[in-house]
Amino acid sequence: MTSFGLLESPVGVIGIESDGTAITRVTWTTSIPASGADTVLSAALEQLGAYFSGDLTTFDVPIDLGRQTPVTRAVLETLYETVGHGESITYGELAARSGTEVPARAIGSIMGANPIPLIVPCHRVVAGDGLGGYSGGAPGEGLATKRWLLEHEGVLPRSLF
Protein backbone atom coordinates (compact mmCIF):
# COMPACT_ATOMS: atom_id res chain seq x y z
CA MET A 1 0.00 0.00 0.00
CA THR A 2 1.31 3.44 -0.90
CA SER A 3 1.48 6.15 1.77
CA PHE A 4 1.89 9.87 1.15
CA GLY A 5 3.10 12.55 3.51
CA LEU A 6 3.64 16.29 3.29
CA LEU A 7 6.37 18.35 4.90
CA GLU A 8 6.43 22.13 4.95
CA SER A 9 10.01 23.24 4.43
CA PRO A 10 11.92 26.47 3.83
CA VAL A 11 11.92 25.59 0.10
CA GLY A 12 8.23 24.71 -0.24
CA VAL A 13 5.88 21.86 0.51
CA ILE A 14 7.52 18.50 -0.10
CA GLY A 15 5.52 15.38 -0.88
CA ILE A 16 7.00 12.03 0.12
CA GLU A 17 5.76 8.65 -1.09
CA SER A 18 6.46 5.25 0.47
CA ASP A 19 5.48 1.75 -0.57
CA GLY A 20 5.91 0.54 3.01
CA THR A 21 9.40 -0.82 2.44
CA ALA A 22 11.18 2.16 0.85
CA ILE A 23 10.79 5.80 -0.13
CA THR A 24 9.80 5.82 -3.79
CA ARG A 25 9.26 9.51 -4.58
CA VAL A 26 10.03 12.96 -3.23
CA THR A 27 8.56 15.98 -4.99
CA TRP A 28 7.51 19.55 -4.43
CA THR A 29 3.74 19.74 -4.33
CA THR A 30 0.58 21.07 -2.81
CA SER A 31 -1.80 18.58 -4.37
CA ILE A 32 -0.88 15.19 -2.90
CA PRO A 33 -3.20 14.48 0.01
CA ALA A 34 -1.50 13.03 3.04
CA SER A 35 -2.55 9.49 3.94
CA GLY A 36 -1.76 7.10 6.77
CA ALA A 37 1.96 7.01 7.36
CA ASP A 38 3.83 3.72 7.49
CA THR A 39 7.04 3.42 9.49
CA VAL A 40 9.28 4.18 6.49
CA LEU A 41 7.31 7.31 5.60
CA SER A 42 7.30 8.44 9.24
CA ALA A 43 11.08 8.02 9.40
CA ALA A 44 11.55 9.95 6.15
CA LEU A 45 9.35 12.82 7.36
CA GLU A 46 11.29 12.94 10.62
CA GLN A 47 14.67 12.83 8.85
CA LEU A 48 13.74 15.49 6.30
CA GLY A 49 12.50 17.71 9.12
CA ALA A 50 15.81 17.20 10.93
CA TYR A 51 17.72 17.94 7.71
CA PHE A 52 15.94 21.26 7.26
CA SER A 53 16.48 22.20 10.92
CA GLY A 54 20.21 21.51 10.51
CA ASP A 55 20.24 18.48 12.79
CA LEU A 56 20.76 15.73 10.16
CA THR A 57 23.37 15.37 7.44
CA THR A 58 22.91 11.75 6.32
CA PHE A 59 19.64 10.02 5.47
CA ASP A 60 19.29 6.34 6.28
CA VAL A 61 15.77 5.53 5.14
CA PRO A 62 15.53 2.78 2.52
CA ILE A 63 15.00 4.06 -1.01
CA ASP A 64 13.77 2.53 -4.26
CA LEU A 65 14.76 4.32 -7.48
CA GLY A 66 12.12 2.43 -9.42
CA ARG A 67 12.57 1.48 -13.05
CA GLN A 68 15.66 3.18 -14.41
CA THR A 69 18.10 2.38 -17.17
CA PRO A 70 21.28 0.74 -15.90
CA VAL A 71 23.23 3.94 -16.66
CA THR A 72 20.76 6.19 -14.83
CA ARG A 73 20.72 3.84 -11.85
CA ALA A 74 24.54 3.72 -11.73
CA VAL A 75 24.84 7.52 -11.81
CA LEU A 76 22.15 8.06 -9.15
CA GLU A 77 23.61 5.37 -6.89
CA THR A 78 27.10 6.84 -7.28
CA LEU A 79 25.75 10.25 -6.31
CA TYR A 80 23.86 8.83 -3.31
CA GLU A 81 26.81 6.79 -2.05
CA THR A 82 29.72 9.18 -2.66
CA VAL A 83 28.66 12.85 -2.43
CA GLY A 84 27.97 13.77 1.15
CA HIS A 85 26.44 16.71 2.97
CA GLY A 86 28.49 19.85 2.49
CA GLU A 87 30.07 18.57 -0.73
CA SER A 88 29.39 19.22 -4.39
CA ILE A 89 30.49 17.56 -7.60
CA THR A 90 30.46 18.75 -11.19
CA TYR A 91 28.46 17.04 -13.89
CA GLY A 92 31.73 15.90 -15.48
CA GLU A 93 33.18 14.59 -12.21
CA LEU A 94 30.02 12.59 -11.52
CA ALA A 95 30.10 11.17 -15.04
CA ALA A 96 33.68 10.01 -14.51
CA ARG A 97 33.09 8.76 -10.96
CA SER A 98 30.10 6.66 -12.05
CA GLY A 99 32.23 4.76 -14.56
CA THR A 100 29.39 4.85 -17.08
CA GLU A 101 31.17 6.85 -19.80
CA VAL A 102 28.12 9.12 -19.96
CA PRO A 103 28.96 12.56 -21.34
CA ALA A 104 28.82 15.28 -18.70
CA ARG A 105 25.99 16.96 -20.61
CA ALA A 106 23.79 13.88 -20.15
CA ILE A 107 24.25 13.93 -16.36
CA GLY A 108 21.84 16.88 -16.15
CA SER A 109 19.09 14.79 -17.76
CA ILE A 110 19.80 11.96 -15.35
CA MET A 111 19.54 14.38 -12.42
CA GLY A 112 16.14 15.44 -13.79
CA ALA A 113 15.06 11.77 -13.73
CA ASN A 114 15.91 11.43 -10.02
CA PRO A 115 12.68 10.33 -8.31
CA ILE A 116 14.04 10.99 -4.81
CA PRO A 117 15.63 14.47 -4.72
CA LEU A 118 17.04 15.71 -1.42
CA ILE A 119 17.66 12.13 -0.21
CA VAL A 120 19.49 11.32 -3.47
CA PRO A 121 21.14 14.75 -3.51
CA CYS A 122 21.00 15.93 -7.12
CA HIS A 123 21.19 19.52 -5.83
CA ARG A 124 24.87 18.82 -5.07
CA VAL A 125 25.69 18.38 -8.77
CA VAL A 126 26.87 21.67 -10.25
CA ALA A 127 28.27 22.98 -13.51
CA GLY A 128 31.99 23.62 -13.78
CA ASP A 129 31.24 27.34 -14.15
CA GLY A 130 28.24 27.85 -11.85
CA LEU A 131 25.19 26.23 -10.35
CA GLY A 132 23.91 24.52 -13.46
CA GLY A 133 20.20 23.69 -13.52
CA TYR A 134 17.74 22.25 -11.06
CA SER A 135 14.23 20.98 -11.64
CA GLY A 136 13.32 20.71 -7.94
CA GLY A 137 11.53 23.31 -5.91
CA ALA A 138 8.26 25.11 -6.42
CA PRO A 139 7.44 25.98 -10.04
CA GLY A 140 9.86 28.60 -11.30
CA GLU A 141 12.01 28.37 -8.16
CA GLY A 142 14.46 25.62 -9.19
CA LEU A 143 17.70 27.58 -9.06
CA ALA A 144 16.67 29.51 -5.95
CA THR A 145 15.91 26.18 -4.28
CA LYS A 146 19.25 24.69 -5.34
CA ARG A 147 21.09 27.76 -4.06
CA TRP A 148 19.20 27.59 -0.72
CA LEU A 149 20.02 23.89 -0.29
CA LEU A 150 23.71 24.42 -1.08
CA GLU A 151 23.86 27.40 1.30
CA HIS A 152 22.07 25.35 3.98
CA GLU A 153 24.72 22.62 3.63
CA GLY A 154 27.59 25.11 3.68
CA VAL A 155 28.69 24.50 0.09
CA LEU A 156 27.94 28.13 -0.82
CA PRO A 157 28.18 31.18 1.43
CA ARG A 158 24.83 32.52 2.63
CA SER A 159 23.41 35.20 0.40
CA LEU A 160 23.50 38.69 1.88
CA PHE A 161 20.06 39.44 0.46
Cα torsion at 65, 66, 71, 77 (round to 10°)?
20
- Residue ranges of the chain that CATH labels 1.10.10.10: 70-152
CA 132 centroid distance within chain: 15
H/E stretch holding 160: none
pLDDT of residue 161 exceeding 60, the answer is: no
Per-residue model confidence as pLDDT tens digits over 92-146: 999 999 999 899 889 999 999 999 999 999 999 999 888 998 988 888 899 999 9
pLDDT of residue 34 exceeding 70, the answer is: no
Strand 23-28: give its sheet, edge to edge. 3-9, 12-18, 23-28
Instruction: Enumerate the active-site residues.
Output: 122
pLDDT of residue 75 exceeding 90, the answer is: yes
CATH number for the segment(s) 70-152: 1.10.10.10
How far apart, in whole angstroms, are the C-alpha atoms of residue 107 and residue 85?
A: 20
Answer whether 151's CB lies under 8 Å from 158's CB. Answer: yes
pLDDT (mean) for 72-78 = 97
